[in-house]
Structures are given as C-alpha cells and as structure tokens.
Amino acid sequence: MGSPARGKPHAICIPYPAQGHINPMLKLANLLHQKGFHITSVNTEYNHKRLLRSQGPHSLDGLPHFRFDMIPDGLPPSDADSTQDIPSLCASLSEHGLSAFRSLLLKFQEQSQDGVVPPVTCIMSDGAMTFTVDAAEELKIPEVAFWTPSACELLGYTKYRRLVEDGFTPLKDPTYLSSGYPKTTVSWTSGMKSIRLRDFPAFIRTLDRQDILLNYVLQEVERSSRAYAVILNTFDTSRMTSWSLSPLSIPHLHHRAAPAPCRPDPRRSPEIGRGELMERGARCLPWLDSKEPVSVMYVNFGSITVMTSGQLTEFAWGLANSRKPFLWIIRPDLVAGESAVLLPDWRRQEEVLRHRAIGGFLTHSGWNSTLESLCGGLPVICWPFFAEQQTNCRYSCTEWGGGGGGEMEIDNDVRRDEVEGLVGELMEGEKGKEMRKKAIEWKAKAEEAIMPCGTSYKNVDKLISEVLSSID
C-alpha cells in the first residue's frame, strides 16, 4: 500500500451500507485518489466481509495510498449475503454509528502520529450517514456530504418537513394509498413543477409519524446541511439548462453543491474495483455476442427490490410473450420469502448496458441504473419500488425523454399483457424509436460532460481546488 506521504491530503470515504451507495462513493474515492489523495474507504463490518467473500481475500489490498477499513453497524452478527433490513439498519446506525466512527477517527489520529497514515484532512460521507458530521465537528475535521442518489430525490427529501407540517404525511388511514390521494399535486414545491405526492421519495407513504425511515430522512437532510459542502451525483452538460439532468433542482439545493458524475478518468491511474457485494461472473458475454445489435431487452431490478412470486411470474410471461431475447438478472433474495430460480447472474451492469446487443432496459429506476442507462444511450421501462425510485421514474418519463411521456411505467399490479406490450413498443415501435433517439442524445451529452473541457470534469477540479484545498 506504500508508505504514508505527509504532504498528501487524506480523505475518509464512507458510504451508506447498500450496493447502490457503495458504487458511486467508490468512484468518487477513485477520482480523489487520481488527484493525489490518500484514501481510506470505510464500510460496515458486514459489508466489508461480503466484499471479501465476493471479490476474494486480496481484493481490498488496494493501491498505494488506498486503504480499506470498517466500523460495526450495531446489528447482530450475520453471515447472510443479502442487503440488510433497511429500517433496522437505519435505526442501528442512528444509535451506534457515531461512537463507532469516532473511535475509527481516533485510531487514525494515533496512526498519523506514528507515521502509518497521513493526518485526516476531510471526511467524504454519504448524505445518509451524517452521524459523521457530529464526529467531524467534535474532532475539527471538515466534512463534505455526498448525496449518491439524484438531485431530484434530494430536493424531494428537503420538502419532507413541510409535508409533515402541512399534514400530507403521515397518511390518515390505509385507504389513502388506494384512492386518488397519491395523485394530489403539491403546488409549493419550488424546483419540482407539477409534482404529485406519488412522485416524492416513497417514505412519506406511511401511517406512522414515528416511522423509522421517515424520521431518518428528516434527520439526515437537516444534519447534512451542517456539512462544509454538498456533492451531487449528476451532470449538467452545458449552459443549456434543457440538457441538465436536474435543471430546476440544483438552484434550489445547497449553494455549494457541485454536480459531478463519479466516473474516474481511465487515462489517469488504475481503478479500484466496483465494490460488488455479490459474486459476479461473465457467463452472459458469449450469449450477448451472438445476438443482433439492439435486439436484447436487459432486465435488472437492483440490489434491494423485492417482488412477490406472482409479480415475477407476470414479468416472466410478459417478457417471454414479447418474443424478444432478454437478459434478466435475478438475485437469490428477489422474491419475498422464497428462493427465486436463478437465471445467469452478472453484475457488471455498465458493461452490459454498453453492449451492442442491448436495446432497452427494464429497470427499478434506481439512480445508478438511471444514470447508466442514459450514459449507455438506452431507453427504459420503469418499475419503481423503493425510496427515490418513484421520483427518478417521474423525471425519466416526463422530463428527460427516456421514458417517453409517462406510458413506459409499469404499475405495482404487474400484468403480463402490459409487460409484453411495452417491451414490444420499446424494441420495435415508433415510440421506442423516438425514445432511443433521445437516449442516444443523452449519451453524447454525458460523454461531453466528462471530457477534459466538460462541465463534470471541471466540477471535480473545482471541488478539489476551490473546496477541499481551501479547507483550513
């Protein structure tokens, strides 16, 4: 790992302990490492062990000046290999996270005095792990909050307090979920025009004011405002706001926010692996290579989505009846309470989405998948499940053009005929052609943003020169 360099800035990068947060944080860590930072990437002990199991015992050895460490999450020990229960994880992190992280920082202080690592100069914390702010203030270490989901989602989260105060949440009774109430438009949400209650991140759909996730979001948003700066995981390709992924959102967020996709420059230095928590393989490449260009439907519902066996059956029959080749990634824990039948498993999603054979993407609308589909030039069919996915789906379908005006969203009540029709329209219909044309335009804009003169490339340089380098 190399000897510590006293002159190197040392960034602690700590993601929320779920796959969709670990990947973008690791990419940010790679960017900073390429810019000369000593990096310590911190996962929970549970996920640290999962990474070792999936990637091999030496996978976290790192590069010179790139180390891995861990903190306990406070939950009972487990050898399971799946995403932990999110409410339990949030409750435990709220109770135990601060003391565990403080102990880690104190360990680093001792190690820096012994010459093992450079002194910690900043903490890059996930916006959903802001107990780190308290430790940073206590030990006088500057903190930067990195919101790994979309800017649109973060803006939605900033409205939660007002939604509670105005009585929109918690819901009065369960009938509110099945009535027209979720379609109620909220007029005062500056930056989110014509937003409906159903389009907000999903945690407002609760009957309990003490709901763990509702209160966790309120806590994290308000505490992250104390960070020295906020980084947004997005891109603004030019002065033309029509080409920004969040043209109305960014001006209404933290005034020191820096929009930048976390994609390391491959010309600079080797990249630390993606940090996949589950084992991966390349068994599907030969099959994809055998298919015609733009002929295969890719299906992946992410690392957290859970469906019923009935929903899985409807999706399966809809895909089969479309008579289009499809590649469906199915996790062992995808079906609630059961073990799903495993289809060929491959989690190098970015590589899949760039393959010439892939013509469309049936997605849960997680932000990583949304960004990767745009950067891959692929139109999408959305089936949102959790958290900010409803918000991303709304913008994909109505604002960015990739979802074609809203009709490419599948309701929770999945029907095989609907799946069959949407897949056929996306792959061969006129609407699908228009969506693909728009998606290819987005791909070009994303590539432009990360070039040396692009906005995202410049934003990363500004983050370092005007924010991190100015920290006293």
Catalytic residues: 21, 126
Peptide bond between residue 270 and the one before it cis (omega within 30 degrees of 0): no
Beta carbons of 431 and 409 less than 8 angstroms apart: no
Beta carbons of 410 and 393 less than 8 angstroms apart: no
Strand-pair partners of 44: 71
Give the integer Cα–Cα distance in Å for 413 and 426.
20
Residue 25 DSSP one-character state: H
Beta carbons of 84 and 103 less than 8 angstroms apart: no
338: helix, coil or strand? coil
305: left (phi over 0), alpha (psi -120 to 50) or beta: beta
Give the integer Cα–Cα distance in Å for 203 and 170.
10
Name 355's Cβ contacts closer than 8 Å, sequence gap at least 6.
288, 296
Q: How far is CA 313 from CA 100, 260, 280, 365, in A?
A: 43, 39, 24, 20
- Residue 329 CB coordination number (10 Å): 20
Query: Which residue in 363, 131, 339 sits closest to 224, CA to CA?
Result: 131
* Tokens found for residue 309: 């066996």
Q: How far is CA 393 from CA 9, 302, 366, 390, in A?
A: 38, 14, 9, 5
333: helix, coil or strand? coil
Strand-pair partners of 66: 39
Give the integer Cα–Cα distance in Å for 436 and 441.
9
Give the integer Cα–Cα distance in Å for 449 and 459.
10
Beta carbons of 177 and 171 less than 8 angstroms apart: yes
Beta carbons of 300 and 376 less than 8 angstroms apart: no
Query: Which residue in 127, 387, 365 sits closest to 232, CA to CA?
Result: 127
Beta carbons of 196 and 185 less than 8 angstroms apart: yes
298: helix, coil or strand? strand
Q: How far is CA 456 from CA 97, 191, 340, 431, in A?
A: 32, 21, 40, 31
List, in sequence order, every beta strand (DSSP E) within 72-137.
122-126
